[in-house]
Structure 1
Amino acid sequence: MTLPPSTVPALLQRSAREFGQHTYLVTPTDRLTYEQAEQRSAHIARWLLSEGIGKGSRVGLFFPNGVDWVIWWLAVSRIGALAVPLSTLYTPAEIAKVSRLADLVLLVAPPDVLGIDVAERFETAWPQLSGQRAGHLALTAAPYLRRIVFTAGSHRRWATGFDDGAAGVPAEILAAAEAEVFPADLAVTVHTSGSTADPKGVLHTHGTLVRQTSTWAGAVRMVTKSEGPPRILSAMPFFWIGGLLAVTGALHEPVTVIAMPRLDAGTALDLVERERATGVVGWPAFTQKLREHPTFAERDLSSAPMLRDGPLDVAMVDVPDGYPVHRTMSETAGGFVFTDMRIVDDTGAPVPDGTVGELLVRGIGVMAGYNKRERWETFDDDGWYHTGDRVYRRAGDPRLFYVGRTTELIKAAGANVSPLEVEAVIEEFADVAQCLVLGLDDPVRGEQVCAVVVPADADAGVDVTSLAERTRAQLSAYKVPTRWAVTTSDQIPTLPSGKFDRKTLRARIIDGLL
């Protein structure tokens, strides 16, 4: 297999050179060609270099899906800095936590994100901001963060404004900097909930990110049953691996990525019609919302026949046994093409085709590791990463079919939720003595988050509506339990080891015993 240009700046330069006039990104209000993406990101990259940002600098990007997200991400990547996309769903507490975990030195945002006053949100995240001076921030909760840059004006004394007219360093300095970006350099950190209370930062090099996204366009042609340059509506946020896969994958060949700042069924259908989209890539719950929209039946969706006639889940296209194709994961940058894979039984022995086992991955298609974790904490002695995913293969079929997973992560509407993170928040409430969080099967969301709580005062009990509201103030909406069970501590089963028996607890909830 021929390796693609193996850094983001090299890939961008090739796309601008070979199909620069093709439309790269479309939003409800904007359009961007590959040539424009190269030119606009170059301007920002030169400014970043003039501000002392360069190889290895950790830069947070707090943007909704759109043109600004793409050009700032490209600019950061071009100078060898490490891009750290931040979820626009984050609460102030989560913004502060991830900024600290990622060791951000610079954070970039627009003044408004989906109706949120970003300056106010940052001041809630870091109360120390008030009274500080732009460019010289000193925050104990984010000790490396020196600047917060707004892409448009802000009256906050602590904020640095981005001057779109600033010259930055000369173009030849940018070219020299890009020449020093190597495939082995870290390119991006994608934060995903893990088996701990803190989100895990998945680190990818330029080489891995570029290689693993190289077959994306071909894959979407296959699942959308279309030919020619794809025009794909990406219903995935760019700050998670699904959206990053789209904007990077679209640099390999002429593709038009269609995106929205927030998911809205009516807007999505307008874009599909207007832009003649060939398909929608997203989670089944959103596809269902499209089909339930009152105007769906009258829409001209002839350019995207699978949207009307195909399965809700694109991972269910042409599957033989009713199990979806494995969508891949953050740890493999959204692809499996350059990944060594092994499916093993409980003893670690490989299983034959057709037998379910745990998926192990390693090689040049796998993450460099988790931020702030040593290699031995992530990979085994032979270099394998144990995914916890239960999969199987069929003879003669290169695809992996996903059955489930052995870990306790909850997959709610496509997003990973760490039970420990949710438990840590709820157990801080004075009226809660104990909390266990687990996932329950849900036909729309895949799984719903369920919290089992023991009141601090058995006679007073707890108000679950109030619990949900308080949890929502500290966690993203998708992490907030949608089902609650109030019980006593003696009703929570334990294993002989003393650990909670989550499997039995889940069964009791399903059976209506709690």
Structure 2
Amino acid sequence: MDVPETVPAALDLAAERFAERAAVVDPALRLTFRELREQVRELAGFLLAEGVRAGDRVALNSPNTGHWVVAALAALHVGAVLVPINTRFTAAETRDVLVRSSASALVVADTFLGRDRLRELRAQGGEPTGTPVSGLPALRTVLRIPVEGAAAPLPRCADWAEVGDRSLPADRVDEAAARVRGTDPSDLLYTSGTTGRSKGVLSAHRQALAVADAWATCGRVDEADRYLVVNPFFHSFGYKAGILVCLLRGAAIVPVPVFDTRAVLELVHRERITVLPGPPTVYQSILDDPARAEHDLSSLRLAVTGAASVPRVLVERMQRELSFDTVLTAYGLTEAVVATMCRPEDDDAVVATTCGRPTAGFELRIAGADGRALPTGEVGEVLLRGPNTMLGYRDEPAQTRAAVDADGWLHTGDLGRV
């Protein structure tokens, strides 16, 4: 099946193909694919009514919940650029992202882990005058997501319950969605900043969907799957290899706001989870939990891991003790999302000692300090080239040229060998 060019088109197709199948399974919000599309269109109508237009940036600062899914898809539905914000950021770090992205709208949790992020932002800038948050002149709209429900009401911001009353008609929403093109920017993800100030990575709709499709193909994900997303939605793993994978394949999204081993065991048991990606520590903590034997984990079939060394014994234990039929490792980064991935037919040694083979149309080369390709087996910098390399770093052309050379190779800064 051809991959849709835009996320709005993918949502429309999912609502048609998987209409009454579960799309979002969350205690506060359980939706079929048809209902998901309805809620997305309603929130998209609210954003349009608030003046959000194609190309505007919509920031999203909230944990993994069904409301995050709706908010992200609504922003993309009107052609806006989604800007996910790390929920562990301080108010100063959040403000930095809002300033640098020139976000015109912010969708934010009422409270999460006991913190009211909007109140923290306002405390930094003083009482707002004319805009929802002082010192952020581009920010015109703030919408709060019900997460913990402990936040006191604040002026100059909307609550989720008001969305329906302030939404434009569906035909206006459909017109906006129809204008979105596959080459339009879909998201602006800020890197972790481990080697300096974080950079805003721009990707297009067709790129986000292409890497999600490649991931889903390697994992053989389909509408019978129920995908427990423990990776944060603000990260490309949770958003693109999570939400978008489920949208393309009709799998149910089961979000986890905060990883807790007992809660994950309960969800796998109760919701018959089949897909559970995550770093190796997730599986090790499940294996080590004494309550594991009290839960039925037989529904599990696919694990995708990486970002750390994966011992072969862990792969074997995951298959033997956690019922996984398939364990895959993968390699990626924000600028390319998923670049290499193992395949279901690979043996345990390949899964444990490699990151698989290139996927999503990527070429891979190992280069020396002079940029020339190194022979097989030698360690050098990992270079990637393909149609799903980032569009570039927002407002940083020099940084973009330094990262992607004249021949189109993305210099990852990571070391590897073939």
User: So what's the TM-score if we normalise by structure 1?
Assistant: 0.67
Name the CA shift for 1:195/1:378 in 2 (closer, same or farther; >3 Å). Answer: farther
Q: Tell whether 2:150 aligns with 1:146.
A: no
Quote the residue 2:296 is aligned against: 300
CA positional deviation for 1:30: 3.7
Greater C-alpha radius of gyration: 1
User: For 2:415, which of 390, 411, 427 is the aligned residue?
Assistant: 390
Three-state SS of the structure 1 residue aligned to 2:31 is: strand
Indicate the residue corresponding to 2:367 in structure 1: 344
Q: Which residue is equivalent to 1:84?
A: 83
- Contact 1:132-1:157 within 8 A present in 2 as well: no
Helix, strand or coil at the partner of 2:73: helix
In the alignment, the residues of structure 2 paired with residue 235 and residue 15 of structure 1 have an alpha-carbon distance, to the nearest angstrom, of 23
Structure 1 residue 281: Cα displacement: 0.6
Q: Residues 61 and 86 of structure 1 are in contact (CA less than 8 Å); yes or no, is this contact kept in structure 2?
A: yes
Instruction: Spell out, residue by residue over 1:434-475, the C-alpha distance to the aligned partner (whole angstroms, 9 max, x if none).
Output: xxxxxxxxxxxxxxxxxxxxxxxxxxxxxxxxxxxxxxxxxx
**Structure 1 residues 195 and 109 mapped into 2: Cα distance closer, same or farther (>3 Å)?**
closer
- Aligned partner (choices 151, 155, 158) of residue 157 of structure 1: 155
Taking the aligned partners of 2:66 and 2:272, their CA distance within structure 1 comes to 20
d(CA) in 2 for partners of 1:257 and 1:137?
A: 32
> Which residue among 264, 273, 290 is the counterpart of 1:268?
264
CA distance in 2, matches of 1:116, 1:18: 40
Residue 129 (structure 2) aligned to one of 111, 126, 132: 132
Counterpart contact for 1:131–1:157, Cα < 8 Å: no
Letter in 2 for 1:164: V
Cα distance, 1:22 vs structure 2: 1.5
Task: For 1:456-495, list aligned pairs within 5 A.
Answer: none
Deviation for aligned residue 1:280: 1.7
Question: Cα deviations across residues 92-138 of structure 1 (Å, max 9, x unaligned)?
Answer: 111111111211111112322233223332223x332x1535xx347
In structure 2, the CA distance between the partners of 1:312 and 1:235, relative to structure 1 (3 Å rule), is farther
Greater RCO (CA < 8 Å, at least 6 residues apart)? 2
- For residues 384 and 199 of structure 2, the distance between their equivalents in structure 1, rounded to whole angstroms, comes to 18
**Does the 8 Å contact 1:233/1:258 carry over to 2?**
yes
* 2:351 paired with 1:357: no
| Map 1:33-112 → 2, pairs under 5 A | 33-112=32-111
Q: How far, CA to CA, are the matches of 2:268 and 2:261 in structure 1?
A: 10
> C-alpha separation between the residues in 2 aligned to 1:235 and 1:110?
18
Say if 1:254 and 1:312 are closer, same or farther in 2 by CA, change over 3 A.
farther
Match of 1:205 in 2: 204
For 2:228, which of 226, 230, 233 is the aligned residue? 233
d(CA) in 2 for partners of 1:76 and 1:172? Answer: 16
Identify the match of residue 288 of structure 1 among 264, 284, 290.
284
Task: Report the Cα offset of residue 339 of structure 1.
Answer: 2.2
Question: Unaligned regions of 5+ residues in structure 1, if any?
Answer: 319-323, 394-514
- Equivalent residues in 2 for 1:293-442 (5 A)? 293-304=289-300, 313=310, 325-335=329-339, 336-374=359-397, 375-393=400-418
User: For the Cα contact (< 8 Å) 1:288–1:312, is it kept in 2?
Assistant: no
> Which deviations, in whole Å up to 9, do the C-alpha atoms of 1:173-204 show, x marking residues without a partner?
21111111011111111111236542211111
Distance 1:314 1:70 in 2: 33
Aligned equivalent of 1:242, options 237, 242, 250: 237
| Residues 317 and 197 of structure 1: CA distance in aligned 2, closer, same or farther (over 3 Å) | same
Shift of 1:343: 2.4
Q: Give the CA deviation at 1:314.
A: 9.9
Q: Which residue of 1 aligns with 2:9?
A: 10
Cα distance change of structure 1 residues 228 and 208 upon mapping to structure 2, 3 Å threshold: closer
- Look up the equivalent residue of 2:405 and give its one-letter code: D
2: CA distance between counterparts of 1:354 and 1:248?
A: 35
1:243–1:145 Cα change, 3 Å: same
Counterpart of 1:329, as a letter, is: L
Partner AA of 1:371 in structure 2:
R
Distance in 1 between the 2:113 and 2:370 partners?
A: 49
Cα distance, 1:151 vs. partner?
A: 4.0
Opposite residue 238 of structure 2, the aligned amino acid is G
What letter corresponds to residue 166 of structure 1 in structure 2?
D
Contact kept in structure 1, 2:78 and 2:177, CA below 8 Å: yes
Question: Between the two proteins, what is the percent identity of the paired residues?
Answer: 30
Instruction: Report the counterpart of residue 346 of structure 2 in structure 1.
Output: none
Shift of 1:279: 3.5
Residue 317 of structure 1: how far off its partner (Å): 5.3
- More helix, by proportion: 2
Question: How many correspondences in the alignment?
Answer: 375
Instruction: Check if 1:219 corresponds to 2:218.
Output: yes
Task: Give 1:115's aligned residue.
Answer: 114
> Given that residues 125 and 133 in structure 2 are in contact (C-alpha distance below 8 angstroms), is that contact kept between their aligned partners in structure 1?
no
Distance 1:217 1:340 in 2: 19
Question: Distance between the aligned counterparts of 1:325 and 1:264, measured in 2?
Answer: 22
Residue 353 to residue 57, structure 1, CA distance change in 2 (3 Å) = same
Secondary structure of the residue that 2:193 maps to in structure 1?
coil
What residue identity is the alignment partner of 2:338?
A: G
* Aligned mates of 2:284, 2:315 — CA distance in 1: 16
Post-superposition CA distance 1:207-244 (Å, at most 9, x none)? 1101111022233349xxxx873222222000001101
Which amino acid in 2 is paired with 1:127? Answer: G
Q: Distance in 2 between matches of 1:31 and 1:161?
A: 19
CA–CA distance in 2 between the matches of 1:22 and 1:81?
27
Output the CA distance in 1 between the equivalents of 2:62 and 2:390: 24
| Conserved? CA contact 1:65–1:259, under 8 Å | yes
Partner secondary structure for residue 143 of structure 2: strand
TM-aligned CA deviation for residue 149 of structure 1? 2.2
Structure 1 Cα separation of the partners of residues 226 and 311 of structure 2: 16
Aligned partners of 2:125 and 2:134 also within 8 Å: no
